[in-house]
Amino acid sequence: MRTAHKCRAYPDLEQASVLNRTFGCVRVVWNRTLAWRHARYHGEQARTNFTQANAYLTAMKASEDLGWLNEVSSVPLQQAIRHQQVAFGNFLAGRARYPRYKCRNGRQSAEYTRSGFRYRDGRLFLAKMSTPLEFTWSWPDIDPASIDPTTVTVSRDPCGRWYVSFAVDVADPVQLPAAGTVVGVDLGITYFAVTSDGEKIPNPRRVERRARNLVRYQRRLARCRKGSANRAKARAKVARAHRKVRASRADFLHRTSARLVRENDVIVIEDLAVKNMVRNRSLAKAISDCGWGEFRRQIEYKAATAGRHLVVIDRWYPSSKTCSACGHLLASLGLSTRHWTCPGCRTLHDRDVNAAKNILAAGLAVTACGGDVRHSGSPRMRSPVKQEPRPVRTGLPVLQGGE
Instruction: Write out the catalytic residue numbers.
Output: 186, 270, 352
Report d(CA 169, CA 146) in Å as an integer: 12
Kind and range of the H or E element at 257?
A: helix 229-263
List 118's β-bridge partners, or say none. Answer: 125
CB atoms within 10 A of CB 210: 16
117, exposed or middle or buried, with CB in 10 Å at 0-12, 13-18, 19+?
buried
CA dist 110 → 10, 74, 80, 305, 373 (Å): 16, 11, 8, 28, 37
Report d(CA 326, CA 337) in Å as an integer: 20
Kind and range of the H or E element at 151?
A: strand 151-156
One-character DSSP codes across 110-122: EEE-GGGEEEETT
Report d(CA 147, CA 376) in Å as an integer: 31
